[in-house]
Structures are given as structure tokens and as C-alpha cells.
């Protein structure tokens, strides 16, 4: 589904990624681990088209993203990639339902249709009764589940999660981790997760260890 070849990224004289090769298959849950500065978040940002590589290619279903114009790339990102960040990044003035609907409206979908699907996703998250609450009226764990629903509203090829449970307590962290695998089982959803959480990494299908801008090794979960 996603093929990454010889990917590099430099910021001035600092080379953060030094030739990354990676294939991500549909329905996989992959974790990326490593110390701070290893290049984990940079790799995630490049896969998510939030930044451009210095060299190398990223292909989604055979399409070379480096050949897309900025406008087409933005449309591609909205339609094919979902994001979950460490801090939920919900818009504070909007309700949970409205936050989930926003990416669908940007994609040009009808509001009525998007609201029906957003409510269904909130039900899956166990948040139906929180649909009309604003972020300030919900817990950290609830807000993060709203963020996951928002990431799923456009049926993305992949959800990219950067330390998604880093700001949560143990109970909410465990619930969020379980949710990722439930969504994979329910929808065949693909996840790529940057994490320092060794427990979460141990559950994923593959764990990629990054060291100094390269993938040093890959641990495949035993079935």
C-alpha cells in the first residue's frame, strides 16, 4: 500500500533521515520507537505529506506523492491520511460532533451525510452522549477518542499517530491502545504509531527501531 524508498531529510547541515526503506501493508498496525532525535516524528511527517523529503520517494498505492502539486497534495492528505497527535488538537469552540465533521466538509461531502457518519463513529468510540460537548467539557481520554474519530471520518488509507497516548493516564492509555486494534479488526484500518510506550509497541504487528535516522531493526509480532 505504502512504499518508501531511500528517503532522506536534511535541515541545513543536519541530516535527520539517512535513507529509509519501508513498506506498509493495508491493515497493519506498526509502531516506530527510538530515542529522541532518532527521526521518528520526521518520518511520520513525511509519510503524512506535512513536509517534503530531501530525496527519495513515497508512493501510496503506486502514486508518487513527490509528483503532486501543493493543491493536489493537500486534497490527497485530507482524503487518504488521518492524523492523531499527542495533544488532541480539537478546535475548542466546536463540539465533538462538529470537530469530527470538519475534515469531511473540507473534502466536499454533504453536511447531513457527514454528521450521520460522525455520530456513528462517536458511538463506536463510546462517546454518543458527548457528541454536543466541547473539548473543555470532556476528559483528556474522551478528547483523544474524538480525535481518533476525526481521523477516521474520510476513510483514510492510513492513520498516523504521534505519541497518541503520551498525555493520558494509565487507564485512558490502555483504552486508547485497545481502540486502535478494535478499529483495525472492525475496519481493516492501517495505523503507523510513533511511541515511547513499550507496552503499546509490543502489541503491534511490527516494531521498527530507529537509530540516528535509519531503521536499525524490525521486530515482527509472533502470531
In tens, the pLDDT along 44-87 reads 999 999 999 999 999 998 889 989 998 998 888 888 999 998 77
In tens, the pLDDT along 145-164 reads 999 999 999 999 999 999 88
Q: Is the distance from CB of 2 to CB of 44 less than 8 angstroms?
A: no
In tens, the pLDDT along 89-143 reads 899 999 999 999 999 999 899 999 999 999 999 999 999 999 999 999 999 889 9
pTM score, whole prediction: 0.90
Q: Domain 26-44+69-220 class?
A: alpha beta
What are the CA-CA distances from residue 142 to residues 94, 107, 171 (Å)? 15, 25, 12
Phi then psi for residue 199, to 5 deg, are -65, -50
Reduce the DSSP state of residue 30 to 3 states and report it: strand
Q: Cell 498525555 maps to which residue? A: 167
Amino acid at each position: 500500500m505504502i512504499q518508501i524508498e531511500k528517503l532522506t531529510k536534511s535541515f541545513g547541515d543536519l541530516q535527520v533521515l539517512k535513507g529509509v526503506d519501508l513498506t506498509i501493508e493495508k491493515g497493519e498496525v506498526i509502531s516506530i520507537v527510538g530515542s529522541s532525535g532518532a527521526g521518528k516524528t520526521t518520518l511520520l511527517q513525511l509519510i503524512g505529506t506535512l513536509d517534503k523529503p530531501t530525496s527519495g520517494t513515497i508512493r501510496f498505492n503506486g502514486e508518487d506523492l513527490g509528483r503532486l502539486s501543493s493543491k493536489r497534495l493537500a486534497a490527497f492528505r485530507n482524503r487518504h491520511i488521518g492524523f492523531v497527535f499527542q495533544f488532541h488538537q480539537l478546535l475548542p469552540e466546536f463540539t465533538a460532533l462538529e470537530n469530527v465533521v470538519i475534515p469531511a466538509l473540507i473534502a466536499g461531502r454533504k453536511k447531513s451525510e457527514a454528521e450521520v457518519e460522525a455520530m456513528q463513529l462517536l458511538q463506536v468510540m463510546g462517546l454518543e452522549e458527548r457528541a454536543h460537548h466541547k473539548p473543555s467539557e470532556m476528559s483528556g481520554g474522551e478528547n483523544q477518542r474524538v480525535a481518533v474519530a476525526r481521523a477516521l471520518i474520510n476513510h483514510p488509507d492510513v492513520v498516523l499517530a504521534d505519541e497518541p497516548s503520551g498525555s493520558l493516564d494509565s487507564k485512558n492509555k490502555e483504552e486508547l491502545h485497545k481502540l486502535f486494534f478494535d478499529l483495525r479488526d472492525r475496519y481493516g484500518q492501517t495505523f503507523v504509531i510513533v511511541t515511547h510506550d513499550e507496552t503499546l509497541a509490543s502489541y503491534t504487528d511490527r516494531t521498527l527501531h530507529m537509530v540516528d535516522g535509519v531503521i536499525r531493526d524490525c521486530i515482527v509480532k509472533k502470531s
